[in-house]
Structure 1
Amino acid sequence: MKYVAYTIIILALGLGIFNATKLNFNALFQGESIIGLITILASLCAIILMLILLTSKRIEEKVKQKK
């Protein structure tokens, strides 16, 4: 499960970087720039969710060790 989460984080990071190149700062909310902003936001959400999952798995392992 840990490797899947890391793989998703790397893919989301790559997708965010790729879409950052699509941004037109002169017209940020028009055309391909808005699509780029939406996908960057979605990739950040995916990264945050995977980090939460990894943290919860770490906590779960520590709780199991104490029992």
Structure 2
Amino acid sequence: MKYFTILVTLIAAGLIVYNATMLDFNNLFQGQSIIALITIFASLCAIFLLQVLRLSKRVDNKLKGRH
């Protein structure tokens, strides 16, 4: 599970970098720029959720180790 979350986090970070190059700052909310913004936001959400998953697994492992 650890390697899966790291891999998906790296893919999401790559998508953020790629879509940041697609942004047109003169027309940020028109055309392809809005699609790039949505994809950047979705990638950030995915990274956040994966980090929450990793943290919850770490807490679960520590609680299981105590019993």
Report the RMSD for the aligned CA atoms in angstroms: 0.4
Please state how far the C-alpha of 1:64 moved relative to its aligned partner: 0.5
Q: For residues 61 and 10 of structure 1, what CA distance do their matches in structure 2 show?
A: 24
Name the structure 1 match of 2:43: 43
Query: % of aligned pairs identical?
Result: 54
Name the structure 1 match of 2:14: 14
TM-score, with structure 1 as normaliser: 0.98
Q: Are 2:31 and 1:4 aligned? A: no
Q: Which runs of 5+ in 1 are unaligned?
A: none
Which string of whole-angstrom CA distances, capped at 9 and with x for unpartnered residues, describes residues 3-47 of structure 1? 000000000000011000000011000001000000000000000
Q: For residues 8 and 40 of structure 1, what CA distance do their matches in structure 2 show?
A: 14
Q: For residues 2 and 32 of structure 2, what CA distance do their matches in structure 1 show?
A: 34
Q: Which runs of 5+ in 2 are unaligned?
A: none
Report how many residues are paired.
Answer: 67
